[in-house]
Structure 1
Amino acid sequence: MTDADILRISGATAAEIADSIRALVERGALAPGDALPPVRTLAATLGVNRNTAVAAYRQLAAAGLVTSQGRAGTRIAGTPATPQEGFAPSTELVDVGSANPAPALLPRLEPALRALEPRPVLYGEAVIDAGLERWAREWLAPDTPRDPRLTITNGSFDAVERLLAQALTRDDAVALEDPCYLATIRTARLAGYRPLGVPVDAEGMTVEGLRAALAEGARAVVCTPRAQNPTGAGLTEARATALREVLADHPYVLVIEDDHYSLLSRHPYRSMIAPDHRRWALVRSVSKFLGPDMSLAVVASDPHTADRLAQRLSPGTTWVSHLLQRLAHALLSDPDTRASIDRAGAHYAARNAAFADRLGSRGLAVAPGDGLSLWIPVHDPAREVAARLRTRGWLVRPGDEFSIDAAAPSHHLRVTAHHLDDAAQERLAADVAASARGA
């Protein structure tokens, strides 16, 4: 970057400097790969504190617009290939990284569709359908700190995005599990929030990790209380109690619990939200047990959070289809559907346990966890192991894709094997074991 280029960057605050660089990128004056000036040079040129320039670059990095390359400086990023759930169906490899539910275990929609009330819904009606609201209140209220307010969103990803948007502004810090659900990472980075990774162990989000994130100024926390994606971990009662004690000194930090696996889980729901915590939300979607195309989630929250969330859900513009809501209600209130959901949860748990046993017999100790996938430790860097598995015909997820801070290579794979029969599981277990050893 020349001196003339530096002079085109303007601003007195971090936000103004970041907006100026963003405008230069949008006009094509800065292209992917172009180097930005060192922070000392930029600060001296603009007459601002060095920390202001650092904060501007941090905002741009959080939004994915620049990358830091150590001694090579900070450069304009290209369009990133953001990892997302699910893989392209055109691959010739066997996809064991998608974390999809089994289509055969999803309930049939035709009987419920035929029985739906054909009543049209007009502008100005309530955002949440009355029948679904009554059912959902019985579902969520026992697991909330106190009488909740309910609303509806287009799935858990939409819920988390809207909840964070009503509580945070650009460059605010948010505590996320590390490793973390792909959609949550994407939400934080695209919105320009500052993600603070909280390590996850077998009992869920760690106490010291949460304490450190709050000390760094986290204004929101996103936690998966069970079936944590990608690790399969779930909060124990002891861990949930300890996390509530940490949060006791931060009653106005928004705590979002994404209980995405809910009705499929083999584990009880345990919450890190204390009865007297002021800002909280519990999100439960139906995608894992009714199907990803049933893009619907119910949000239970405190009144303040509910009011601010409602401002982002306007009848007739950003509402969730009442036809979809009535279909979900018809399915969830049907005893046969609920029984099939329970059988699906038992199937996933049994197939994951079987695959964990097959890996264990080959020297890879894996906890089955909870959820649709297994989190497999490997000796070599996960990306190398994933590449070896591709040569053997398997498509897996390296743990690096789920990392908040990818400074060090991951040594885990996320593998979805519930849809494989015994013979295919045996082949995959043998190939994972061989690839993990570098054979």
Structure 2
Amino acid sequence: MATQYGIAGTTAKGIAASVERGVAEGTLSPGAALPPVRRLADELGVSAGTVATAYKELRQRGIVVTRGRGGTVVAAAPAVASRRPPKVPAGLRDLAGGHPDPELLPHLVPPSRLSPGARSHRATPRVARLEDAVRDWLGPDGVPAGGVTFAHGALDLIGRLLSVELRPGDAVAMEDPGYHHLLDLVTALGLRTVPVAVDEEGIRPDALRSALRAGVRALVCSPRAQNPCGGYFSAERRDALVEVLQEEPEVLVVENDHASAVAGAPLHTLTSGGLTRWVHVRTVSKFLGTDLRWAAAACDPVSLARHDGRMLLTSGWVSHLLQETVYGLMTDEGTRALVARAQETYELRRTTLVGELALRGIAAAGVSGMNVWVPVRDESAVVNGLRSYGWWVAAGARFRLLSGPGVRISVAELEPADAARLASDFAAVLGESEATYGG
């Protein structure tokens, strides 16, 4: 509890710094309640307004959240202490990480021609031939690729865009359940998340319309391989979503196509619908290598200028060595063949598990990508139950806002021969859970 940590300070900034220090050191853990404003003011001998200002600053910076009558508590993923996944217990089969199969990734070979000497790339931040390769990559999928830019991964690019476009307290429509690092990022930027329900065709038009009416200024979504549920936009769903978005043309639409080449589903992109403000982001970590922290994005002219203007003042550019490495892999025929095999392999592993679960009466979602989402009544009971059988899966709590409980199973390294055993163990765990808690 917060009462075990002595919050200090006589000014709003001092009080905020004291709380931040407690969070960074781990003394104030996620969910810990801070004292009510008036009580802390009395303890510190300051005005209630001073404490309220400190709490407001902490909220804007994503360190604490306010829960109405529940008071002010440390955020689940405070901006000063990154939330890391639980450590996989020894001896368990890890199906929680969401990483690609290392056997299906190419060997990374740095370019032989290194960047000569010390010089600035600010005038030409992007390797021209990689720009051309990106346009060739995006164009056939219907993404307008006139203006492209690069960043150090999708989170880097999305975080920069949202920080330029929005201000603390602004609302962002987010998939629910959705990618936990994006949910954490939005909170860390001091923005409000507005949940948008998803199904096997991605975000639902009715839920999006409700979010727009709530005043969101941006939407972040996945057109395929939605994490954690594996949905993807059909052409009909894309058209329905574009129709809704055209009602609010100034809303920034960020489309995160993180799995692209191994998604196992066609791309029906929102960016082809004539929207005013849009960004389509792609990364390569799922199929070229997890250490390739590089993202490409096609943007409308305003978003492109704002992103690149901010990047110019911060990191400046993405390493040309990294760009040359990505270009070499993207244009290598052997790598292309390996990526195609990876896409087929992930599809087989995903569909096999979904099918084995269905044979045992267990409904699961996962029509694209490398994750399967299984709705359950008690996440902890299922996670701990599967642990006793030697499996480690991800509890759904970190992916959810208002949606129901579930667990995420990453199938990238789950051979079809093992899927039947996992499904049988899953059914046994559900049976044990019902026996314990009632059917």
Pairing partner for 1:248 from 227, 246, 249? 246
- How many residue pairs get aligned? The number is 415
**2:126 alignment counterpart:** 128
Change (3 A) 1:342 1:315: farther
Contact preservation (8 Å) 2:38, 2:48: no
For the residue of structure 2 that corresponds to 1:311, the secondary structure is helix
CA distance in 1, matches of 2:182, 2:10: 34
Contact preservation (8 Å) 1:127, 1:315: no
**2:353 alignment counterpart:** 355
Mark the runs of 5 or more structure 2 residues left unpaired by the alignment.
42-46
1:36-84 per-position Cα deviation (integer Å, ceiling 9, x unaligned):
3269999xx6579xxxx6x986774575533557756334569868654
Pairing partner for 1:238 from 236, 239, 255? 236
**Cα distance, 1:102 vs. partner?**
0.5
CA distance in 2, matches of 1:159, 1:94: 33
Alignment of 1:93-172 (within 5 A): 93-110=92-109, 113=110, 116-120=112-116, 122-124=119-121, 125-143=123-141, 146-172=144-170
Instruction: Write the letter of the residue equivalent to 2:380.
Output: R
CA RMSD of aligned residues (A): 3.4
Matched, 1:37 2:36: yes
Pairing partner for 2:210 from 212, 217, 226? 212
Alignment of 1:324-343 (within 5 A): 324-343=322-341
Matched, 1:308 2:302: no
Greater CA drift, 310-319 or 172-181:
310-319
Pairing partner for 2:261 from 260, 263, 266? 263
In the superposition, the TM-score normalised over structure 2's length comes to: 0.84
Contact preservation (8 Å) 2:258, 2:281: yes
Alignment of 1:39-54 (within 5 A): none
Alignment of 1:182-221 (within 5 A): 182-221=180-219
Greater CA drift, 266-275 or 239-248:
266-275
Contact preservation (8 Å) 1:84, 1:183: no
For the residue of structure 1 that corresponds to 2:310, the secondary structure is coil
Identity of aligned residues (%): 37
Change (3 A) 1:39 1:305: farther
**Cα distance, 1:316 vs. partner?**
9.3
Contact preservation (8 Å) 1:152, 1:299: yes
Contact preservation (8 Å) 2:143, 2:280: no
Change (3 A) 1:72 1:341: closer
Contact preservation (8 Å) 1:38, 1:73: no
Alignment of 1:267-306 (within 5 A): 267-273=265-271, 275-306=273-304
Change (3 A) 1:304 1:144: farther
In the superposition, the TM-score normalised over structure 1's length comes to: 0.84
1:228-262 per-position Cα deviation (integer Å, ceiling 9, x unaligned):
00000001111111111111121111110000111
For the residue of structure 2 that corresponds to 1:288, the secondary structure is coil
1:168-203 per-position Cα deviation (integer Å, ceiling 9, x unaligned):
111111111011102101111111111111111111
**Cα distance, 1:361 vs. partner?**
1.5
1:146-167 per-position Cα deviation (integer Å, ceiling 9, x unaligned):
4531111111111111111111
Contact preservation (8 Å) 1:153, 1:320: yes
For the residue of structure 1 that corresponds to 2:296, the secondary structure is strand
CA distance in 2, matches of 1:27, 1:267: 46
**2:91 alignment counterpart:** 92
**Cα distance, 1:429 vs. partner?**
1.3
Contact preservation (8 Å) 1:234, 1:370: yes
Greater CA drift, 310-319 or 221-230:
310-319
Contact preservation (8 Å) 2:229, 2:366: no
CA distance in 1, matches of 2:132, 2:382: 49
For the residue of structure 2 that corresponds to 1:270, the secondary structure is coil
**Cα distance, 1:108 vs. partner?**
2.2
Matched, 1:23 2:20: no
Change (3 A) 1:59 1:397: farther
1:388-439 per-position Cα deviation (integer Å, ceiling 9, x unaligned):
222222211111110124xx7x431100234233443222111111112316
CA distance in 2, matches of 1:166, 1:434: 50
Change (3 A) 1:100 1:145: closer
Instruction: Write the letter of the residue equivalent to 2:430.
Output: A
**1:383 alignment counterpart:** 380
**Cα distance, 1:291 vs. partner?**
1.1
Contact preservation (8 Å) 2:285, 2:291: yes
Instruction: Write the letter of the residue equivalent to 2:410.
Output: T
CA distance in 1, matches of 2:406, 2:35: 34
For the residue of structure 1 that corresponds to 2:312, the secondary structure is coil
